[in-house]
Structure 1
Amino acid sequence: MKQITVLEKYPVFTLEVNKGETSYTSIDEIFAFLRSQIEAHPIATYIGEFDHYAHTSSLEEGKINEEIKAAKNIICCFGKVLPKPEVLAVRPRSIGVAEMTDSFVISFLEAPNPDANGAMEKWVKDIVNTKH
């Protein structure tokens, strides 16, 4: 897993998993695993999924990199305190999974909560060589 800056300002954690490194064969299988991790977490709550590929491809002006075969976000929240209204701007969390020809690229924006980052990083790393 590496940390990069996307569009010159967004701190993102990302991991490319070659399809030979995981027993998961689709985004939906990966999402079933991630959802089980979210639901087992003592604080996180599952919110939903967003099919970014379907949305973008439905737009007349939509453009998708031809190497991307599918792309979805799974959405959850780790919020256990709400100290001020502006905190809402950095919630909820989203983990994106893009299916490429030979790999899955999994990424998420760095959270202000180190525990949330740690949990998401573990979940993403567990996709590698996971047997289900």
Structure 2
Amino acid sequence: MKRSILLDTHPMYSLEILKSETDVTSINDIIEHFKVKIEENPEAKFITVFDHYKHTKELNGEILESILDAKNLLFCFGHTIKNIEILAFRPKSIAICETKESFILEFLETPRPEVNAWMQSWIKALKR
């Protein structure tokens, strides 16, 4: 996965998976994959799926022409609340974008390295 800095301040991870490199055929397939991974992790809790594409369409907003679909999977790894500030890192979101040729998956870096590793492994598991 590629680690970069978004807007000069936000560390994030991203991976583009060509459709020819995966067995999934839609964002919904990817979401089901993540739901299984969340269920398997005793710290994780599924929250919801936000249909970002539909929301933007309903607002008559601008959508990059190459985007066919875009959703965010929302979930949480929080097992403690040791300070108020940690709440700003929760819940987690994995952004999933579909183009004609690929799926692009992204998430913002968390303060817990093991959580970043778990999410990276879930995403990388989508590649053949």
Q: TM-score range by the shorter chain?
A: over 0.9
| 1:33 alignment partner, SS class | helix
- TM-score (normalizing by structure 2): 0.97
Structure 2 equivalent of residue 92 of structure 1? 91
After superposition, the C-alpha distances for 1:45-89 in whole angstroms (9 at most, x for unaligned) are 1111000000011113x1111011100010111111101122111
Query: Unpaired segments of 5 or more residues in structure 2?
Result: none
| 2:62 alignment partner, SS class | coil
Query: Unpaired segments of 5 or more residues in structure 1?
Result: none
Structure 1 equivalent of residue 123 of structure 2? 124
**Distance (Å, rounded) in 1 between the aligned partners of 2:18 and 2:99:** 9
Query: How many residues are paired up?
Result: 128
**Distance (Å, rounded) in 2 between the aligned partners of 1:18 and 1:8:** 27
The list of structure 1 runs, each at least 4 consecutive aligned residues, that deviate by more than 4 angstroms after superposition, is none
Structure 2 equivalent of residue 73 of structure 1? 72
**Distance (Å, rounded) in 2 between the aligned partners of 1:10 and 1:100:** 24
- Which moved further from structure 2: 32-41 or 4-13? 4-13
Q: Residues 29-44 of structure 1: matches in 2 within 5 Å?
A: 29-44=29-44
Query: Sequence identity, in percent?
Result: 42
RMSD: 0.8
Offset of residue 109 of structure 1:
0.4
Offset of residue 36 of structure 1:
0.4
**Distance (Å, rounded) in 2 between the aligned partners of 1:9 and 1:64:** 24
- Which moved further from structure 2: 64-73 or 1-10? 1-10
**Distance (Å, rounded) in 1 between the aligned partners of 2:118 and 2:42:** 11
Offset of residue 93 of structure 1:
0.4
